[in-house]
């Protein structure tokens, strides 16, 4: 017969455990201790409050343009909680909660989004790559690390993240294909927040879900509620265990929503309705998880207030430390921007560096002159 059906899997699961009203499916609830639940909550809250504070600073001109993470805490925290210190964490740029849990300092965020490359330096012993702004390119790095783990016969697992927009990039396809062909221990987590800046997901793909692409790559895939930290935890736990035991990569699509603009330079009112925002605001992950912790008697009002106060002090201290640091000569010199990209600076950049150096010199000389003329006027 020249033509016959080829049976392929045609279904993927959707997982939700704690719904938007904090109603729980107890049959699916993961077994996490009080301490573990509070750790997850603390990092989600730290990410949220850090994000809010950075926005205030940006509006005051004390922070550069940055992408906010509010709304993405459950995807980041629920997934990262499944890996060990020596596993690998390869973020995009909204996984603040997971990065903080992995050992990044708040200083990393304040420096990085202020344009200081020191923010990308990982603290000692942290097996993470820094934020990756070129969309989807981090997925190739993750696939490569996973392939290296296989070659070295090491049992480390890689978690990597990308957006719905990134899923349309060639890099995403190449990474998923390579990871599958080489059975690399990589868990690909798509934070489907439904928009690539202003482009809604239905305008950049015809398929119903991103998770179903896993079928084509020959790997397990699942879609889950990305605002439900328990669902993300369970979906990732299965994928991490499979990867660690030689079962290769998986694709997880976590459906969520940005509670904020794309970056501080965006105005989402131009492309999202208030009604839509309101609907998703009610589904946001942090309040839902807090309610769950209260219902379980894991968290009390007093304990919550204590954590908030502790986080507030931590953020203030980090902000002050960075503001002091960036006033020092080592950080404040604009010539630094030329000094770290090339070992041997190309002539065109050298010319620009020389021009800027000259400009700074004359500016400094003018400043000194006006100061000393001010002083002599005062003396008269
Ligand atoms: C290779 C590349 N192309 C374009 C951009 C500009 N850009 C920055 S964010 C973004 C949208 C990304 O959308 P998505 O992957 O859904 O992630 P989200 O920002 O929503 O988390 C684009 C196109 C970029 N950073 N890198």
User: pLDDT tens-digit profile of 43-83?
Assistant: 999 999 999 999 999 999 999 999 999 999 999 999 999 99
Residues 142-189 have pLDDT tens digits of 999 999 999 999 999 999 999 999 999 999 999 999 999 999 999 999
CA dist 26 and 230 (Å) reads 11
pLDDT at 10: 86
- Which atom of ligand 1 is nearest the CA belonging to 169? 1
Mean pLDDT, residues 261-285 taken together? 96
Residue 257 clears pLDDT 80, i.e. is over it: yes
CA dist 66 and 290 (Å) reads 27
- Which atom of ligand 1 is nearest the CA belonging to 93? 21
Task: Respond yes or no: is residue 217 known to be catalytic.
Answer: no
Does CATH number 3.40.50.970 belong to domain 13-325? yes
Contact 219, 250 (CB under 8 A): yes
Q: How far is the CA of 43 from the centre of ligand 1 (A)?
A: 25
| 89, 262, 272, 283: the active-site residue | 262
| Closest C-alpha residue for ligand 1 atom 3 | 135
Q: Give the number of other CB atoms < 10 A from CB of residue 145.
A: 21
Residue 245 clears pLDDT 70, i.e. is over it: yes
Task: Respond yes or no: is residue 343 known to be catalytic.
Answer: no
pLDDT at 158: 98
pLDDT band at 371 (very low <50, low <70, confident <90, very high): confident
Residues 186-202 have pLDDT tens digits of 999 999 999 999 999 99
| Closest C-alpha residue for ligand 1 atom 25 | 134
Q: Does residue 163 line the site of ligand 1, with CB under 6 A?
A: yes
| 48, 49, 242, 258: the active-site residue | 258
Residue 380 clears pLDDT 70, i.e. is over it: no
Mean pLDDT, residues 261-289 taken together? 97
pTM: 0.93
pLDDT at 378: 64
Q: Does residue 164 line the site of ligand 1, with CB under 6 A?
A: yes
Residue 298 clears pLDDT 60, i.e. is over it: yes
Q: Give the number of other CB atoms < 10 A from CB of residue 283.
A: 19
pLDDT at 376: 67
CA dist 37 and 40 (Å) reads 5
- Which atom of ligand 1 is nearest the CA belonging to 133? 25
Q: How far is the CA of 163 from the centre of ligand 1 (A)?
A: 8
CA distances from 133 to 29, 52, 200, 265 (A): 35, 20, 20, 15
pLDDT at 233: 98
Task: Respond yes or no: is residue 53 known to be catalytic.
Answer: no
pLDDT, greater one: 1 or 212: 212
CA dist 149 and 156 (Å) reads 6
What rounded mean pLDDT belongs to the chain? 95
Give domain limits for the chain.
13-325, 334-379
pLDDT at 330: 86
pLDDT band at 237 (very low <50, low <70, confident <90, very high): very high
Q: Does residue 210 line the site of ligand 1, with CB under 6 A?
A: no
């Amino acid at each position: 017969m020249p033509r016959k059906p080829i049976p392929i899997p045609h279904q993927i699961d959707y997982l939700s455990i704690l719904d938007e009203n904090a109603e729980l499916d107890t049959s699916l609830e993961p077994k996490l201790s009080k301490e573990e639940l509070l750790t997850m909550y603390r990092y989600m809250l730290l990410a949220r409050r850090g994000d809010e504070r950075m926005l205030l600073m940006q509006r005051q001109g004390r922070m550069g343009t940055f992408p906010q993470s509010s709304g993405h805490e459950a995807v980041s925290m629920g997934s990262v909680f499944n890996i060990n210190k020596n596993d690998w964490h390869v973020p995009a740029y909204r996984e603040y909660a997971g990065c903080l849990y992995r050992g990044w300092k708040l200083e990393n965020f304040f420096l990085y989004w202020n344009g200081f490359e020191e923010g990308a330096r990982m603290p000692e012993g942290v097996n993470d790559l820094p934020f990756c702004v070129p969309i989807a390119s981090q997925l190739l790095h993750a696939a490569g690390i996973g392939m290296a783990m296989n070659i070295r016969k090491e049992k480390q697992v890689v978690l990597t993240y990308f957006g719905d927009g990134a899923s349309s990039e060639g890099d995403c396809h190449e990474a998923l294909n390579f990871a599958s062909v080489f059975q690399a221990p990589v868990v690909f987590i798509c934070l489907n927040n439904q928009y690539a800046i202003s482009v809604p997901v239905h305008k950049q793909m015809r398929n119903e879900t991103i998770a179903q692409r896993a079928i084509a790559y020959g790997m397990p895939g699942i879609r889950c509620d990305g605002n439900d930290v328990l669902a993300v935890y369970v979906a990732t736990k299965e994928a991490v265990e499979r990867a660690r035991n030689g079962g290769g990569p998986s694709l997880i699509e976590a459906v969520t929503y940005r509670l904020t603009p794309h970056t501080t330079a965006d105005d989402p009112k131009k492309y999202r309705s208030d009604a839509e925002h309101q609907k998703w605001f009610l589904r946001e992950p942090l309040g839902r998880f807090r309610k769950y912790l209260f219902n379980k008697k894991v968290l009390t009002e007093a304990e919550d207030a204590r954590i908030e106060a502790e986080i507030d002090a931590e953020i203030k201290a980090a902000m002050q430390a960075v503001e002091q640091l960036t006033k020092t000569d080592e950080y404040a010199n604009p010539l630094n921007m030329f000094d770290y990209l090339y070992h041997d600076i190309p002539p065109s950049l050298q010319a620009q560096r020389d021009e800027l150096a000259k400009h700074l010199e004359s500016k400094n000389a003018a400043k000194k002159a006006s100061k000393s003329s001010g002083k002599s006027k005062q003396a008269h």
